[in-house]
Every structure is written in C-alpha cells, then in structure tokens.
Amino acid sequence: MDVVRSIALVPAYVLAVNLFFAPVQIRIWNYFNFVDFVIMIVLIVPFLATRWTAGATSQATRWLWCLCAAMAVDVLAFAIGTFLPTGGHPSLEALLSVFLGFLKVLLIPAGLVALVIASLRGERSVTVILGLICLIGETLYTVLTPNHPIRWIILEAFR
C-alpha cells in the first residue's frame, strides 16, 4: 500500500499544479488580498503543525518539515508586502519573495523526494497528504518572473 501511495504522489502533485498554477498566478499578480493570504495559510500551516501534533516516523519527514518551513518564509513576505509594506523599490519583502521563488526550484523537488521517501518508509497517511498539499501550495503561491524555470516547465512543457 505504501508503494502505491508513494508512486501516486508525484502525478498528483503535477496534476494539481498544472490545474491551478495559471489561475493562482493571475490572481497573485492582479488581485492578491486577505483571502489569498488565508488560502496560503490553510495550504501550508497544517503540515507544519503536524511536527508538534503527530510527530515524525522517519527522518525524511523531518527534512521535509525543514524544507517547507524555509519555503513558508514566503508567506510572511507576502503578508508584509500586502498588509504592511516597508516601502522602497524593490522592497525587502519583494526581494525575499523573488529569491525564495528561485530557491524553490531546488527546494520543491527535494521536498517531493523527501515526501516519497517518507511515504515509502511508512509515514502516516495524514502527514503525507498534508505534506503534498503544502508542496502544492508552496508551488502555486510563488512569485515568478516570465523566465522562471517552474513557469517554463509547467506552462511550456505540458502544451
């Protein structure tokens, strides 16, 4: 059962990101508001909270939590940029979002690998599903430039 679940993680990730990527990116660039911030929280925080509520049964899950926590700094950058802008051009939070967006090119695949390994090692189903949702949310809510590798892979490779 763990093998089937593990094999299904990557296609589920690719399918969800391909379905929701363009609409979320359009919304980020044109209409980002409090509702989007709440959606980011709902997608990301439950997995991070499992560290204290459920604990980990594998080292891969601990690595995934660290990777997701590093990527979750982007949520703070979005919040500061939207609700408490610091000013300047470009602002510090905008630079942080763009930097993390480029760093996610490495962090998200590493997170997927850690998630698959954790699933293969028998991690709880709830933790695996929340980890997958977290990685999907981290991908969808990424500030991307037109030449960003994730944008190219998602929009161009699947035409």
For the chain, the structural domain boundaries read 2-156
pLDDT in tens, 92-107: 777 888 788 778 888 8
Say which DSSP state 146 is in: T
Q: Which residues contact 98 (CB under 8 A, 6 or more apart)?
A: 90, 143, 145
* Nearest Cα to Cα of residue 36 among 51, 26, 47: 26
Q: What is the pLDDT of residue 52?
A: 80
- Determine the pLDDT at residue 153: 59
User: Helices in 54-91 by DSSP H: which ranges?
Assistant: 59-83
What angle, 0 to 180 degrees and rounded to 10, lies between the N-to-C axes of helices 2-31 and 92-120?
Answer: 170
Q: What's this model's pTM, rounded to 2 decimal places? A: 0.85
Residue spans of alpha helices (H) in the chain:
2-31, 34-53, 59-83, 92-120, 125-140, 149-151
Asked whether residue 141 carries a pLDDT value surpassing 80, the answer given is yes
The pLDDT of residue 145 = 59
Which pLDDT score is estimated for 158? 52
| CA-derived radius of gyration, the chain | 16
- Are 69 and 47 in contact by the 8 Å Cβ rule? The answer is no
Q: What is the pLDDT of residues 125-134, one digit of tens each?
A: 888 899 999 9
Q: pLDDT confidence of 154, banded at 50, 70, 90? A: low
Q: What is the pLDDT of residues 6-58, one digit of tens each?
A: 888 888 988 888 788 878 888 888 887 888 888 989 999 999 888 787 777 78
